[in-house]
Amino acid sequence: MSASDTPGEDGNTEYGRKSFKRSKSHFADRITADGRDGWPVEAGRYRLVVSRACPWASRALVSRRLLGLEEAISLAVVDPLQDDRSWRFTLDPDGRDPVLGIRFLSEAYDAREKDYPGGVSVPAIVDVPSGELVTNDYQRITLDFATEWTALHRPGAPDLYPQALRDEIDEVMEGVYRDVNNGVYRAGFAVSQEEYEGAYRDVFRRLDWLSDRLADRRYLVGGSITEADIRLFTTLVRFDAVYHGHFKCNRSKLAEDPVLWGYVRDLYQTPGFGDTVDFDHIKRHYYMVHTGINPRRIVPVGPDLTGWLTPHGREALGGRPFGDGTPPGPPPVAERVPESGRPPGAAAV
């Protein structure tokens, strides 16, 4: 999610006035076990910068938790609202990231490439010693967490991108990305009725396909959680709170589809998923930043979040969430979602 698309304290008045096109990640270096791009996997060297509002950044949050990389790569959480200098560290004391020593994520971008003209996006990984941005490649970061950071995975970490299933995972993820992850944005930021209706049809055609696929299987590919589930989850968890109304994807709510509603609650209640979700950040970001769509910046009170904690019954489909692995432990205290961002009655862990 790019801050160049959302300049100014009042959010982005351009959203809803020009056709939406997602930018490619400009900084696509990889952090690998062999360090072939100059960035070797190394415990404590890098800092992951995320917004809990952003579905793309939330993928990295879930992956990091499931794989137990909390000690290996530290975490910075930005304010869900930006100003014209990009994502800001106003949630930290004195408005400065305590590890990187910067007030705005753009400073790490500038350290890597001065006067870079593109967007300042999250997730971003920053090299702590130099203060330089390493990568903002949201499509690659989590795949590398799963495959390149294995030496630093916790004991019992699941295999989120198993070799034998990669072709099927990639195929499923491609359709989910095009029609769901990106499709809701194309609908929400459409500038014509025709453009909106095309994106709307894509979203619900794919959701219907996913509902059929998940009717008799617990997870998207294979018998345990994979990268494909992570990528779908971060959009579905935002659907009723944001995309249904704010982005006009309103044929039906997710809670009205028994299969998808059960599937997303199953994941939400799985350690590593729901404990990364902050509904307060999600709603405030979308409704207060996108002033081209919501000029009054009024944040809706609903929907009722208590349903996220209700039984889903999908254990009957079989499958093991972590395969041969084990669930992650509780998140570090400093990283727990505040009560304001959790459903009533949800524990911090």
Identify the helix (H) or strand (E) that includes residue 75: strand 74-77
DSSP three-state, residue 307: helix
Contact 247, 36 (CB under 8 A): no
CA distance 227 to 188: 25
In the chain, what is the greatest distance between 2 CA atoms, to the nearest angstrom? 55
Q: Are strands 124-127 and 132-135 parallel, antiparallel or unpaired?
A: antiparallel
Query: Is residue 15 annotated as a catalytic residue, yes or no?
Result: no
User: Which has the closest alpha carbon to 95: 112, 78, 70?
Assistant: 78
CA distance 301 to 299: 7
Residue carrying the six token digits 């390493």: 134
- What the block records as the tokens of 309 is 């904690």
- What the block records as the tokens of 117 is 């003209």
User: Which has the closest alpha carbon to 297: 4, 15, 35, 109?
Assistant: 15
pLDDT at residue 24, as a whole number: 63
pLDDT at residue 119, as a whole number: 87
Which candidate in 109, 138, 161, 185 is catalytic?
185
Contact 80, 11 (CB under 8 A): no
pLDDT at residue 65, as a whole number: 98
8-state DSSP, 46: E
pLDDT at residue 251, as a whole number: 98
**DSSP state letters, 112-144:** HSTT--S--BSSEEEETTTTEEEE--HHHHHHH
- What the block records as the tokens of 48 is 């992951």
Per-residue pLDDT of the chain (349 residues; tens, 9 = 90+): 764 443 344 445 565 566 666 666 689 999 999 999 999 999 999 999 999 999 999 999 999 999 999 999 999 999 999 887 889 999 999 999 999 999 999 999 999 999 888 889 999 999 999 999 999 999 999 999 999 999 999 999 999 999 999 999 999 999 999 999 999 999 999 999 999 999 999 999 999 999 999 999 999 999 999 999 999 999 999 999 999 999 999 999 999 999 999 999 999 999 999 999 999 999 999 999 999 999 999 999 999 999 999 999 999 999 999 999 999 999 999 999 999 999 988 876 5
pLDDT at residue 22, as a whole number: 63
Length of the chain: 349
Query: Is residue 54 annotated as a catalytic residue, yes or no?
Result: yes
| Cβ-defined contacts of 163-170 (< 8 Å, 24+) | 165/221, 165/222, 165/226, 168/221, 169/220, 169/221, 169/226, 169/227, 169/228
CA atoms within 13 A on the CB side of 110: 9
Which candidate in 15, 46, 54, 249 is catalytic?
54
CA–CA distance from 188 to each of 203, 244, 289, 339 (Å)? 11, 9, 13, 29
